[in-house]
Amino acid sequence: MTEIALEGTVGMNPFPENAAAMREALDAGNHPPDLERVLELCWNCGVPVLYLQETPPKSSKPHAMIFRKEGRYAILLSRKLKHSAQAVFDILHEVGHSVLGHLPENGARVDQDIKLKPENQEEDANGFAVEVLTGNPHLRLKSDRWLNAEQLANAALSIGERLRIDPGVVALNYSWNAQFMPVAMASLNIIEPNADAVRTIRHYLLERLDWKRLTEENAEYLIRMTGGNMDDLPCRQ
């Protein structure tokens, strides 16, 4: 599946060399990094980002994967995520594996679960993602009292504006640190009520892939595996 996506992806540019350089490339000083900006950067680097809707037979469904083949990369998400802040963290975690040199040539990195946990390369990839999103790889937002969903959403919007961080990222960071994710999910519904991260990822696939480079059979397979419809495809003529 990723080989098909790479076949239809035009161009190849290296990722920025570290998290700070990636923040600069994302113009983080003026616009907090978010899902659309990170997807745009990935596709501009020739790195397709896919959402796996269907799992091939006899295959498990990990949270995310990054593949490397002949110096090129492809990212595959398979955890169905509604909110942009969750999806952009998972994508940047996989980008971190690439930038930090965690992948062998012609190999893959499969993350069965992505959590903020101290496990060497996983911790490094988490820190990379957090730094790109916030400017600080060790950011751990705290509160002197428990916040409910509405309180967290309001605080995230305020802190996000002040620190130039996406408010969804603020809410997730606080909840990871507090080890209380249900309030994060409820607050994200307030911050981003019409969220559909999978739809955004699929939109970039449809718009940025050069479908004319694929056979009809491969195009149909890729669309089906990513949950799309052949009627969604741009004109292949």
pLDDT tens across 66-122, in order? 999 988 999 999 887 899 999 999 999 999 999 999 988 888 888 765 554 546 888
Q: What range does the domain containing 40 cover?
A: 2-137+196-232
Strands (E) located in 70-133: 72-77, 108-111
Does residue 149 sit in the same domain as residue 203?
Answer: no
Residues 64 and 172 placed together within one structural domain of the fold: no
The model's confidence at residue 181, banded by pLDDT at 50, 70 and 90, is confident
pLDDT average, residue stretch 51-74: 79
By residue count, the chain amounts to 237
> What's the pLDDT score for residue 140?
92
Q: In what order do the strands lie in the sheet with 49-51?
A: 49-51, 72-77, 64-69, 108-111
Would the pLDDT of 144 be above 90?
no
Question: Is the pLDDT confidence value at 232 over 80?
Answer: no
Number of domains in the chain: 2
pLDDT at 63 over 90: no
Q: Which range (30-34, 116-120, 144-148, 218-222) has the least confidence?
A: 116-120
Residues 123 and 88 in one domain: yes
Is residue 237 in some structural domain? no
Verify that 155 and 215 share a domain, yes or no: no
- The lowest-confidence range among 25-39, 71-85, 107-121, 131-145 is 107-121
Strands 72-77 and 49-51: parallel
If you average pLDDT over residues 178-205, what whole number do you get? 93
Q: What is the mean pLDDT of the chain?
A: 89
In a domain, 157, yes or no: yes
The per-residue pLDDT for 81 is 86
List C-alpha distances in Å: 54 to 60, 86, 134, 235: 11, 20, 33, 24
- Do residues 35 and 56 both lie within one domain? yes
- Together in a domain, 161 and 211: no
